[in-house]
Amino acid sequence: MEQKMRTMALEDAPLIRAHGRTGPSRSPLALFWTGSGIELVVTGTELWLEVEASFGPYEPWFSLLVNGTPVSRQMAQEGRRWVPVFRGMDPRTAKRVRFVKETQAMSGDPACALLLHGLRTDGELLPVPERARRIEFVGDSITSGEGAVGAQAEEDWIPMWFSALDSYGWRTAEALDADCRILSQSGWGVLSGWDNDPRSRMPAVYEQTCGLLGGERNAALGALEPHDFGSWQPDAVVVNLGTNDSGAFRSPQWTCAETGQTFKQRLKDDGSFHEEDLQAFEAAAEQFLGRLRACNPQAWIVWAYGMLGIEMMPSLYRAVDAHARRTGDRRVAVFQLPAMTARTQGARQHPGAEAHRQAAEALAEHLRGLLHER
């Protein structure tokens, strides 16, 4: 007997699992970070999702997966509309479906938002199987998957060249049968951003749901609220920061237009990094490790670095060692990721999909050994 299509709101569908640090409400569900989205298991012949998007210069992109395989990648259209996921499938077979935000939270576009309202299907929802692990990734453009899609010649800074699904974080989680959360922002660092802006620091926003977003609407959606760490505890936290701090040494001094405040990570006359500024970076990294441990008391913390240079690696080792000696923490480590090469470079002089694949393979093997101890 042919089943009728039914429409339901996300808040009325508790079997649908939300992924990522999302807003507190499911009416609608706000998807802030890279890789956030929903997952469901559904029978039936047909499925549609109700998606709403708004944006200024930077539109969100999303992908649809059916049974673990990407079937669609597209730019979100402004407004509220129904997006088809599949039609004509065997009504009796359960399909595992994911809607994944491909692009990062856009700190430079307070109008940018991606919301999910509901679904329409002629099937029945079933429980989503649990994965074996949980991993959180904290990083910059590399972790956002910037350049993971697109030709090497591409230089436009646009959302189209971002891909959560091709990123090393997503691939690592897939290899370890893990749910993942990705908190990342292009250009941001530990002590400052690539341009020496001290406001562009991931540690400063880590304890909020998505504290780097501006605009009244994002605030109303819960982006600036304190994150409830007890709601989702990872088995591992992977930090990939330092690349933009390294770049800041060769960037001009930053000056705040409103206050005249200046900031600069300095080079010495011989081209080496100024010791005082390296020490400031190491102190900031050590402090962040302390906050990560306080928020995630049982997790392994792995500082994974090296896809775009290793200049900050000695400082990272010193910061991790200082944290371990000061606190007695023995569940913290540094891991060097495989470097991007001319062959594995992607768009915008960033790692391409193959570079991310290689990094994920190495990182997954490293984490597998650490997490096996639990």
Q: Are residues 96 and 194 in the same domain?
A: no
Strand runs labelled E in the chain:
6-9, 17-19, 22-26, 29-31, 37-42, 47-54, 61-66, 69-75, 79-86, 95-101, 113-121, 125-126, 133-139, 178-184, 236-240, 254-255, 262-263, 300-305, 332-336
Count of domains in the chain?
A: 2
pLDDT (mean) for 176-202: 98
pLDDT (mean) for 181-189: 99
Domain assignment of residue 218, yes or no: yes
Of all residues in the chain, what percent carry a pLDDT higher than 70?
99
Q: Are residues 45 and 137 in the same domain?
A: no
Q: Are residues 212 and 181 in the same domain?
A: yes
18-58 pLDDT, tens per residue?
Answer: 999 998 899 999 999 999 999 999 999 999 999 999 999 99
In CATH, what number is assigned to the domain containing residue 58? 2.60.120.260
In this model, does residue 374 exceed pLDDT 50?
no
For residue 208, what pLDDT is reported? 98
Domain assignment of residue 1, yes or no: no
Domain assignment of residue 64, yes or no: yes
Rounded (5°) CA angle 98-88-102: 25
Q: Are residues 165 and 41 in the same domain?
A: no
For residue 99, which amino acid is it? F
330-366 pLDDT, tens per residue?
Answer: 999 999 999 999 999 999 999 999 999 999 999 999 9
137-163 pLDDT, tens per residue?
Answer: 999 999 999 999 999 999 999 999 999
Q: Are residues 85 and 201 in the same domain?
A: no
**How does 99-110 read in b/e, with b if 16+ C-beta sit within 10 Å?**
bbbbbbbbbebb
Quote the domain boundaries for residue 109. Answer: 6-126
Q: Are residues 50 and 152 in the same domain?
A: no
